[in-house]
Structures are given as structure tokens and as C-alpha cells.
Structure 1
Amino acid sequence: MDADGRVCVQDGMCWSWPLVSALVLCSLLSVGTVRTAPCQTCRRLTDSFIKGLERTANKNFGGGNTAWEEEKLAKYARSETRLLEIVEAVCDKSDFDCNRLLEQIEDQVETWWFHRQQEAPDLFQWLCIEELRLCCPPGHYGPECTECPSGPGGVCGGLGRCEGEGTRLGDGDCVCDPGYSGVLCQDCAHGYYREKSSNHTQPPCSACHHSCKKCTGPQDNKCLDCKPGWILHSNKCVDVDECGTELARCPSNTYCFNTDGSYECRGCDQACVGCMGSGPARCKKCARGFRLTGAKCLDIDECSERAIACPGLNEACINEEGSFRCECAEGFIRRDSICVENLPPKWTNSQLLT
């Protein structure tokens, strides 16, 4: 704080208004200029300011003699005290962009509060669009607030949004709603058709059958062109069975499973080495630990077929799908790769006395 009571946050940058506490100002470091602040930050700031107006609408100075204060200190509604209360709560402490912008526009905020409120009650319009030129009016975009492309129904025909609308950014191109395309979103996109209308209004675009790329109606027999994985036959898109052709490319130990408009490569059963379908009955060859029994690859029970599946002393054989394992028999535990009897520990006299 300098000799005049101003709060200084940088060399040569001091603030005279008492509306922002020194604690808040010291956390703000100005980067760039006001014009680099995005429209959304200004919108967020002004929206929060309006909420502050509503929050303090029924407040007063809070002293012991409100009538005297209103007479001598001017009305609370337009007072510096109320402005201070609002400004201190406008930005969250973690919102750096909002705090930075607030730091840079203190003169404009003061001007609007004390001199422009009545003639310009819309703070966002006056501050963000007209004064700071960070935003554009609805239906406009870009640095010069160029008018968005419009047609029947409004901006982008009412069937899309103008890229950058309301901001100083964007190229103004129409981003159409699903089902629509064209400069003004007046055409039906691929996979959609124009419904018939009994009046003079332009009917909406509706989705074709899921197999159609182009169509004249919603039924599967109204197709004009098909999506990949389908072939047109008598105005109907018929699924291509890639699994019955050379179109499918599946890695080893998988099989081809046909789906609508495509196919999937699914894993073979664990009993198989290569397969022609799901399950142990479609194996090309049985995997290790399995044997062809009838038409299926079934598990080999090594524990019953091998004379000594587990050669270790006091070991038991446990059969598993496609394999087996050796465990210590009941009452035994493994120590140093040997199954020994699981006996309780023996205590010496010295251990018992301690």
C-alpha cells in the first residue's frame, strides 16, 4: 500500500478503489490484456455479479441507525458498501481467469455501478459486448461480430448452431443437428430421408433403416444405396456374410461370427487349436490336455489315467480343465519342495519359561 492508501499489486500498478480486498488483489497477476479474456469468463463474471445483486437486494448498512445512514451515506442500493460485498464474492478463489479479468476491469465496473445502471441495466450486454468487446450479440460471431448464416427458421435454419455464435471466435459455419446437412442445414444427411408433408412447411428429416445409406422411406425396402457390409437387392439392403467369403480376416485360434453389416472374430474354445465355430465340437485340432472323444475335444483326466501323475511323496493329484496339479495331501504341508506332516511346533523348557 502506498502513501495515498492505494493497494499496489505490481510495480507501477496501484488501485485506488477500496472495493477489492488486499488479500484478493495480492493473489492476482495480470497476464496479457483484457481482450485476451474469453467471452465465457466475462459471462461467468457478470452472471455471478447479478446473483450478488439479488443476494444483497434486501440488505442495508447494518449499523445501529439505518435511517441516519441512508440519509447521510446515500442509499445502500447504490452504495460503495454494497458494491464491495458483491465484488468480493464474484469470483471463486480457484477461478484464475475470472479474478484476472476482474482485476483489469475495475474502472468499467465502477462506471457501470455509479453511472450506467439505469440506462444500461443489462450488465453482460454493456460490459462484455459493448465495452470490452469480448462477446457478440446472439446470432453473431467472430472479431467483428459478423452475422451468422440464417435461413427459414433462424440461425442455421433453426436446425443447427453457428460456430462461435455469441463470441469473438469461430468461423460462423453451421454445425447441423443430427440428420441434417448443407450450408444452412436444409438438406437431409446420409442415412436420412425427407418425410412427406400435407402443408406448406418443410417436413423434417427422419432416419432410414439402419442398413440404408440413402432411402425414400423408413422401411428396409425403401433403400437407394447401402451402408458398408450390405448389398442392394430389389430396393432392400441384404447383409453380406463375410464369414462365407474371403472378406473376413481373423487371427489364429479365432473364428468368424457374422453380424448385421459386419463380422466379429471370436476366440476358440480352450479345448481347441483352431476352430470353425464356438464350443469344443467345432475344433480343428484338440489342445494339449484334451482328447477327441466322439465329435468333441474333451478334458483328459490325467489323475486317473496316469499311473503316477504326482510322483512326490505324500502328494495328491488334482485334475483341472486341460491340465492337472499336484498338492500336498491332507495333513501335509510343503517345505523345501517336499510334503511333510503338518505337526504343531515343539516347545523347549526355556521357551516355555520365557
Structure 2
Amino acid sequence: MCAKCNGPDPDDCEKCASSSFFLYNGECFGRCPQGSFDMSGDKYCQECDSTCKSCHSFKTCDECKDGLVKNSQGHCVSYKECDIHEYKDEHKGCLPCHRKCSRCAGASEHQCLSCKDSYYLLKCDSTCKSCHSFKTCDECKDGLVKNSQGHCVSYKECDIHEYKDEHKGCLPCHRKCSRCAGASEHQCLSCKDSYYLLNSTCVSKCPDGHYQEDEEKRCVPCHSTCKTCSGRRSSQCLSCKEEWYSLGHSCVQHCISGYYADNTTASCERCHRVCKECQGPDSNDCLACFDKFFLMKTKNQCYSSCPEYYFEDHAQKACERCHPTCRMCRGSGALSCTSCVSSYQLQGGICISECFAGEYKGTQGPDGECEKCHESCIECKGRGPLNCTVCPASFLLYVNDGRCVQCCHSKPEDSRECCDCSEIPEECKLITELLVDNDGHKKTALFVATSILVVLSIGAIIFFWRRARAKASTVIKGGYEKLPDQTKSFQSFKSNRESTSSFQRDHVIEYHDREEEEDDDDDDEDIVYMGQDGTVYRKFKYGLLEDDDDEDLEYDDESYSFR
């Protein structure tokens, strides 16, 4: 953008390449940034007076900074009715500033905001109420007294680097403080070298929102728009607060004409050279065009002359759509045609078809027959789906192809494209990302469903595997189990058995217990033995219960006899 420069950086310009740009602080802008103005129509921007937020000359403000108001002369003052060289007294109204002050906040010569010619504004030390040099106070701030060196201290008898303790006398300040009002590092009045005074604390580095004033060794607040800065002016920002954008070395909430807001860099970036306003860096990101150019809204591009099927709207500086029957026109509507599409005849600014609605003339001439339009068209100018002039409900005509495309709000499912019918109601702004998004959602849903099924399957496999292992590890031990006391029942049984002739003393007595159904075993019978002393034993199968293999199970066939 530079025609002449003194370095490689964007802010090293000395002259801009185009006569439509303005030079400000070494950079070329579409217009002078806020807080500056074009000095004499030579495309060089000069900073406004320090009281102005914006201006059109150095002394004439368009908008004042916070806390100031504009008077009848266009100057920003502390009270609207007062002249620029006056201040507002609560009881006496507007009173003149001190003779040395050009503008002021009060009657004293120490309340000057700017000075008259041959005078310079003197900055006092932070402890001084007034001074005649930076370090030598004429009057101290409340709570301080002036010592013999002219410095303001907390107690007159103490050294400049000491403070007065009621019980212990003069004590040294904190190691960070040069002068102080107490022992704490938060009671500093001024700081030692390599430290800066922030309120009443000495810090090695000023925090965000402040810059280092090396002469006074203090942290000074940045302009309200800056996050970090190199000075107090709005044009000295190094970075901006959230929701603000950097423009050169200034911060703005809304980018000026010729720039767009880049949210990734939080800065105002230059539009393409053909765009007056834009939403991005390319030539098809235009929102408004320069003089003698017209915006094609469906393409966001600027044209020097509008193409077929469009007319130049000089009021809106845009290419507007002709009626569908018009090839060329001078305005909107069916009565403004200057030439017609095929199959129509121009009569008094109106394009008339010789056929009924839904038909077109197949061959030109008086003997030409009318043929039916394609099913996608209500009216047409020729054969096939690419010659439509009027479309059905929920469809709009895409002029570039002459076809009807469904509106996005009707939620087409099978279409790879649709028209944004809400932005430009009478014209199709083609959207081609619809199917891609739908396919993306379908693929995502399919992936999620498949993942859930896989997880459930794995969970089921693990469950059955662990259950099988639990069965395999179960062991039935072999041996005998002593049953509860059977004495009474045995005595009754013995007397009954001995009374019969079939009883044999050495015969083995066996009892078969009732059958028990178990989940993991077949319906096997437990074998019960009775000893000679009347004790009853249950005999178990032993071995691993695995695969229901009875061949791995054994019985102890030993039996007992009564004696």
C-alpha cells in the first residue's frame, strides 16, 4: 500500500500508493482513524487535540473524551457553558483560568491542563501539590510536610528515606521505597531505581493497563481502550481489551470503512482493494463498493457494470435482479424490461409470451408450436430444466443456470444444494454446503451407534468369560459329611429292622437322599451311609465340575457294617 517508505514494516510508509488512502503514523488507511483528521485535504492525518475523541480540525472536536463536554465553539471543556479558557466553579459559575493557563481545571496556576504560548506545563513529583521543579515541591499534598531540601515527607525531622514512628522515631523505608509514609512496601511515596510506583506500591514491572513513566518512575494508566500501551494516548496501544480490535496503534470496537474485524488476530484487517466495506480479505467478501461500482449481493462482489438480468440501482449502489422475463431492464418489476428472454416478445416495456402459462414456443415464427415446460418450472423460455423463468413455491430461480432450486428453509433432504431465500427474497443465493453438513451428521450418528454396539458386545463377552472362569475354578471336595443327630430315628429304625427276618447284621445299610436340583449339575443322587454306631454319613462326588464330564468324577465305594 506504500508508494514510498523508509523501512519494511507496514508502519514505515511515507506516501500511500493510492490517492484514496490516508497516511497516519506511517500507515495507510481508507480514512483517518478515530482521534485524527485530514489536515488540509492532502491525505495526511493529524492527531486531534488531546481533549477530543474525534474531530475535523485540531481545535474543533466532533466528540469529546469522557468527563468533558463540547461548548458552542466546538471545544471540549469541563463544563458546557464555560469558554475554553474558563473553568466551572460550583458557586460562581464560569471563572477565567490563571493567566499562564490556556485551559484549566481550577483557578490555581497548578491546575493547568495546557499552557499559553511561552509557557510549558511542568510535571511535579507525586508528593507535591505544587512545585517549581520536578523534585522540589512548593506545597505538599495533604498529610505530608516539606523538609529542608524541599521534599515532601511524612515527618519534618526525618531523612527523605525515613518515616516517623510514634514510638521508635525515624525508621528506614521499605527497601523498594525511596520515600514512604510507613514501613510497608504498600506505603511508598516514590521508588528506588528499577522500581515503579503503582498507587502506593513499588513494582519492578507495570501490569497490563499501565505503562512505565521513566521520568517520574511510576506506572501510568493506559487509555481506557488499551490492554497494554506505550503511552497515555489512544493511539499508543500495544494490545487491546477483549471485544476490541487493533487498528494501527489504536483500539476500536468497530472497524472503520475499508477494514474488517479478524477475530483470530483481534485486529482490523484491510479489505480487498475493490471493496469499500467487507467481511473478509477476498474480492468476494464485499459488503459495499466504492463510487462507480455496484455490489452483486448473491456473490458479494463489486462490478463496474451489472451483467445481463440485472440493472444498476444507483441509490443502493447494487446490481438488482430484473424480472425473470427480462434479459435487460431499467428497473424492477415486469414493466421495466428493455429486452426479453427467448420465447417472449417486448411490448411497451413488458415481455409477453405467445403461449399459455407453463408452455414455451418451441420454434420462432408465427407457425411455431407451444411446448410444455419442464416439470420443475412454472414458466420457462425453452426446453429442459435450465430455462425456467418462474419457479414453484419454496423454490427460487438461480439465474446463472436458469433453474429452480429449493429453499433451504424447506429442509431439502436429497438435494446437494439449496437457496438462502431469507437474505435476498427475490433471488437465489446458492448454498452448497448443506448436504456435506447432513452427511457429516449422518456419519457421526452411524459412528456413535456402531461404537455403542461394539462396547456392548465386548462387555457381554467379558461377562460370560468371567462367569465361565468362576465355574471352572469351583471344586467339589471328596469326603464325608456328618449329618445332624440321627440317634432317635436310628433306634426306631433299628428296632423295626431287627424284628424282620430279612435283616442281616453284616449287611450294608444304604439310604438314598432325596434328589436335589442344582443349576450346574445333572440330577444326581447323594449316597447316605449309616455306621454301626448309628451315625449317618453323606458321600460326595469329588473332582472338578468342568464340562459336565462324569468320567472325571469318582465315588468311594467303601461301605460300613454294623457290628
TM-score (norm 2): 0.19
* Larger RCO (CA within 8 A; separation ≥ 6): 1
More strand by share: 2
Bigger CA radius of gyration? 2
TM-score (norm 1): 0.26
